[in-house]
Structures are given as structure tokens and as C-alpha cells.
Amino acid sequence: MSIFKLIATVIHDYTNITTALLAVFVFLLINKLFRRPSNLPPGPRPWPLVGNLFILSQDAAHIQFTEWTKQYGNVFTIYYGPKPVVVLNGYNTIQEALINKGDDFSDRPGLNKSLGVAFAPYGPIWKEQRKFTMMGLRDFGFGRRSLEGRILEEAEALRREIIKTDGKPFNIFPLLRKAVTNVICSIVFGARHEYEDAAFGTFLEDVDIRLHQATERMRQFVKTKVDKHYRDFDSDDIRDFVDVYIKEMRKGQNENFTDPQLVHLVIDLIMAGTDTTSQSLYWILLYMIVYPDTQEQARDEIYRTFGDSALPTTAKRKEVPFTEAVIAEVQRINSVAPLTIPRCTSNDTVMYGYDIPRGTMVHVNLWSVLKDPSLWEEPDQFKPERFLDNQGQYMKKDAFIPFSIGRRFCLGTQLAKMELFMFTTYLLQHFTFKLPEGAPVLSTVGKLGMSNGPRPYELCAIPK
């Protein structure tokens, strides 16, 4: 055998051995990564490396999860790459996890090193910051009737902007978002922004994007406001939430109250008070266009209670039960937060006999509750009357949980409820909303991004 043949034979044999060893290594690695931990909830079989990502719909994961309950039950496991993710479905299951086992299901995946409250990990610092934030916000009307004036001021500014459209087709969402954001800014910063403010507009665009560069611009926008509060601070004249926090920091008694923490808190508050509420209002107007008889019935009720010019007030909320039922039904049939912010388990825990290790990411599928046929008759039908009792009064339902439940329920719940009521009654009192002539029928299928919002549409607002 020539030296060249000998070398070729050795290389060939070595290559076969190397390939075989590499194949065994890859097999063992994939097997280790995707071996389902013992006694995890069942679920669809994952693909190597990608898990279940290829079979999940980007726009409708919440709907797909709800469908999978028929095959795997209300607690099942999917995989994002090699990582298991447990999905909780159904009212009883979600209540068991978030209420009865709240300490086990209140953590967050490590997203931003404990700053703020929305994404911060569950623990003493989170509890302290959330409690202080809620107390500080209440001092400026959060969840109280005294906040109505701020909302009505913004509703009037919104009305003036809508009138400028002169009944022509336009997309109302940017105006809704500016109005809603201004309400929370008036509480946090003590002032609203003009709709033409370029920096304000850029900030709202960044809220939509939330990439690294956009997030940095958001921080800078908020930090500029906070720095101004430092310069103007007067402990005898506390103007807003930022002042409340600065006052606490200057006591110097708690190292957890810091400038970066304040900036993240403010961003959390604006995020919580902006996207979901403005998207909910966008949905409400869409359904009013799709169901014009419902729009007229709600407007007639508003006129009987407030007339055509008196300012709406939550003090008379019980006198407009159908309007309140309309708002609730829109929130039910197209939840803007069907999966909520992802959670993770803070302890090893057990659900219905299945073991869920500490640190496991968890999706809470509110959609499975709000569209459950065992809780809501004909859940895919728009029927506001389902929220009315036999006397025509608004009727609360335990399974109506659009803001989630438990320790991590939406921080802006009370503000959002007030805003939805005040803006809806004010807008229906002053305008009739119609589809532009010749426009296609509006779709009630949402597009899931940061929230489940309507696909962009235009409307005509006819002043009354």
C-alpha cells in the first residue's frame, strides 16, 4: 500500500469515528436539553432546538393555547427552544395558582435586574416598592373620584382634536393614546403634554417599539422630567408622584429608593396606564361601529342621565348600566392582555399532581377564562346584556378578570376602569362614530403585539 493510500485510509477511518462521536454528542445534548423533567404537565411534542416555536401563532398564541386545553387539559407544557413553559388555563386553575398559591406564581423571568415593579422579581423589595407606589398614587386621586377632573380635561382636549377632522375618515388611535397617556402623566409629572409636542410623540412611538435604542430614549425622556423635579423640589409643595418619591429618597433611610428605580417606576406606570387602556378604547369604538344599534342604545342612556352637555361622572355610574355592560363586554370578547406579562415560579410547586420546578416560566391565559363556553353563553357573540340582571342593572361576574388577579394584578386597574367609563361616555355623548363610506367591514380579529389590539382602521366622527 502506498503512503498516500495509507494516509487516505487513516483519514477516512478517523473521519468516520469523529463523525460518529459528534453525532452521539449532539444526540445526547439534544436529549438532555429536551428531556421533559419528570412529572411536568403534558403538552405538544417539541421540535429539537426550536421547541414549539414553529407551531405557535404569533398573532394568536392565546387562542391556540385555549384550543390545546381540549387535548392536554388546563395545565400543560410547551417549549421555547429547550426551555419548558407552563401554561395555565381556566378560571379555577388560574385562581388556584394566583390566589391560593400566589407565593409560588408571582415571580418574573429576570428581565431588568429588579428595577421598577412591572417586571421586577417577586420579593421584599418588589412588595415595598409596589405598596409605596400605590399609596403615593392614591394621594393624587388614583382610584378616587377626585381624578375625574383630570380625565374630563383630557376628554375635552380629545374632543377638540376630533372636531378638527371635520367628519372625514381618520385613525383615532394616536389621539386616544395621547389622551390616555396624558392622564397618567398629569398624576406622575403634575402636567399634561400638548398633542403636538414632538418629544411626547417620540416617547409614545418608543413605547410601541421597545427595542434597546427606543428603551434608552424612553429613559432619557423620563429622566429629563425627573431631573427638572429635582431642581424645582419643595418639600412643602408636593405636586405629583415624582415629588412623593423624591421626598422619600431624601429621607435617606432606605437604600432601595434610588434615582434609577424612580425612572423605571415611572416608565412602568406610563406603560401600564397607556397601551392597554388606549387599545381598549379603540376596541370599544370599533364595536360601536360594527353594532350601531348598540351605540345608539348606549348614547340614549347617556343622554337620559347626563343630557347632551353635562359632564359625565362616576357618581351616576349605576344610572348607565347598559353603557357599563358594553364596556365590560368589549373587554371580555377581545381582551387586550390575553396572556398578561409572563411569570415564573418562585418555588418548587405542584398543580393538579404535576411538579413545576422553581424558575419555570409561566403563561396565564386569561383568554381561556373570558371565552369559556361553560362560563359565558355563546362566548364568541357580542352580547352586552350578559352583564345585566333581570332588573337591567349592571351585574359583576367573578370570571370577568380582564386585569388578572392575585399579587401581580394590573397596577393601573382602578385608573383604567375610570378612564374607560369617562372617555366612553364623553365620546358617545358628543359624537356618532361611523364607518367611512365604501370602507370594508371592520375585522374583530385582533393583532397580538404588546397587547391584543384591533387591526388599524379609520372612522368618521360626526359631532352631535
**Cα-flanking dihedrals φ and ψ of residue 79, to 5°?**
-125, 130
CA-CA distance, 63 to 412, in Å (whole number)?
A: 25
175 touches 162 (CB < 8 A): yes
**Closest among 32, 87, 79 to 51, alpha carbons compared:** 79
* Pairing status of strand 361-365 against strand 343-344: antiparallel
**343: region left, alpha or beta (phi > 0 left; psi from -120 to 50 alpha):** beta
**Closest among 61, 73, 67 to 342, alpha carbons compared:** 61
Residue carrying the nine cell digits 393555547? 65
- CA dihedral (44, 47, 51, 55) in degrees, to 10, reads -60
**Cα-flanking dihedrals φ and ψ of residue 110, to 5°?**
-65, 95
410 known ligand binder: yes
3-state secondary structure of 399: coil
**Closest among 457, 414, 177, 221 to 314, alpha carbons compared:** 414
Q: DSSP string spanning 191-251?
A: ----TT-HHHHHHHHHHHH--HHHHHHHHHHHHHHHHHHHHH--TT---SHHHHHHHHHHH
**Cα-flanking dihedrals φ and ψ of residue 221, to 5°?**
-60, -50
Residue carrying the nine cell digits 386616544? 176
Residue 66 sits at the vertex; the CA angle it makes with 448 and 87, to the nearest 5 degrees, is: 85
CA-CA distance, 298 to 385, in Å (whole number)?
A: 12
Known binding-site positions for heme: 410
Known binding-site positions: 410
